[in-house]
Each structure stands twice: as C-alpha cells, then as structure tokens.
Amino acid sequence: MGNVKAVGRVYEAALEVCRGSLSRSPRTLEAAAQLRGLIVELRDVGDGSAFLQGGCLARLEYDRLYQRLPEGKGLDWPTFVEDVLGIGIRRAQYLAAIYTKAVALGVTSETIEEIGWSKMRELLSVATRENVERWIKTARDETHAMLTSRVRAARQHRRDTGKDARRVPDPDTATTTRWGLLLNTAQRRNIEDALRIAREEAKGRDACDDASLLDLIATDWRSNRLPRDRSLTWHLRQLSRVYQVRIGYEDDKRGRKRG
C-alpha cells in the first residue's frame, strides 16, 4: 500500500511540474534537482508515466537547466542523460519529442491516461492540429491493433504524397499502385469526358484527383448492377469508404437497426 501511495505522489508531483509552457518553467537549482529526481523515480512507475518523464526531460534540457546541477556542470546533454540519469539518449529524445508534440497539439495528460500511452504514442506520430481530435476519438473506439493499422496507413500516405493525411485513413486504401491502360483515341476521350463531368459534380470535395474520380464512377456503375439483396449493404460500405463517413440504416422488415 505504501508503494502505491509513493507512486501516486511521484505521479502528482510530475503532473504539477509539467503544467504550463517550457519557457515559463522555473530556472532555479531547486527546480533542476526536482526534475532530476522525478525523471529517475518515473522510470519505475510504469509505461504510463513515459509522457510525464518526457515532460521533465524537456524541461531539464531547456536552456541547459541541467547544468545548474553540480553533476551537470561542463557536460553536454547526451552525456548527462546517459551517465547521470541512466537513460539512453535516443529514448530520452523520443520521450521529450512526444511530450512536446502532445503539448503543441493540446493533448493533456488526462487524455493520455484515459487512452493509454501505447495508443497515444502511435497516434501522436501522425496527428496534426487539424485531425488530432479525430485520432483521439478513433483511439477511444478501436483496439490498439486497429489503430496501429490506421497509423501505418497515415505514414504510407505521407510517403506517397509528402503530406500528412487530413483524415484518419482507412488501412484498405493506404497502399497505392500505378495502373496503366492502352487506349485508343475514342476510348481516352470518353474516359476524360467522364472524369471531367465527375470533377464538376465533386466540386468542394477534398479528393478530386483522377484516381478518386474514377473510383466514384466505378462505384456508381457497379451500384446499378448488383443483386438486389446485396445492393444496400454494398452501397453503404462503398459510400462509407469513398466519403469517409459512418452510415447506419433501419431494417423495417426485421425492426432492428443495422449499419
């Protein structure tokens, strides 16, 4: 019981220290000593404390605060981290970077505690200011494996386009493939006309590239040629994928909702 209380005290102290911006944190010897002590103690609290450990590391490194400590004088940051704190420099840099990004995106320690560190470190590697709330909601609703698949998809999107994904991506659409066709002049003109019409109808949508428009055309064509008993389910699945929305419907015959 005493150990649990001690862990709680360390956690609460770290929460208090990590509030506020780096530039406004105290720059005194006492502050440096407290941060050093918390970093060492947080190593034994568990993986969930990694976010707070990153916050303490970022504060101790900021403006070389660690050099106020007697054991930090004359040392560079990597040497201090490894020889004095006993932490690998790569892990220290990773934890501090994750903390800094979380703070920049407005993610709180309470949210991280709710979702869990393992999920949070995954989503923070791809989240932006525009989509961080969507990522957090996804992390709440899905398993770690499902979230990891979406993060991989977002990384693939970044590699393919050089840009961050604006939405939480569907893993099934993450991998792109170059696909070529040999067309005669009439066929090419017909396809280009269809793409032009689809582009005009799709104005205002985020994705209006030729691949997305061709996907919409194919979806529309296939939807009119499916067996009636399969068309509704398939239609909903395709609409959800193409427009990235969740759709539900009510089955009147059975009196239950599906989606």
Spatial separation of the C-alpha atoms in residues 41 and 17, rounded to whole Å: 14
Q: Is the pLDDT of residue 257 over 50?
A: no
pTM (2 d.p.): 0.60
The reported pLDDT for the residue numbered 43 is 74
- The residue among 187 and 171 whose pLDDT is bigger is 187
Q: What pLDDT shows up at residue 5?
A: 44
Q: What angle, rounded to 10 degrees, do the helices at 50-61 and 117-124 form? A: 50
Cα(196)–Cα(178) distance, integer angstroms: 21
Give 245 or 139, the one with higher predicted confidence. 139
Provide the pLDDT for residue 76. 95
pLDDT at residue number 173: 58
Amino acid making up residue 12 = E
Mean pLDDT estimate for the chain: 79
Tell me phi and psi for residue 54, to 5 degrees. Answer: -60, -35
Residue 222 to residue 77: CA distance in whole angstroms: 61
pLDDT band at 83 (very low <50, low <70, confident <90, very high): very high
Model confidence pLDDT, tens digit, residues 27-82? 888 988 989 988 888 876 665 678 888 889 999 998 899 999 999 999 999 999 99
Angle between helices 185-201 and 210-223 (to 10 degrees): 90
Question: How far, in Å, CA of 74 to CA of 76, rounded?
Answer: 7
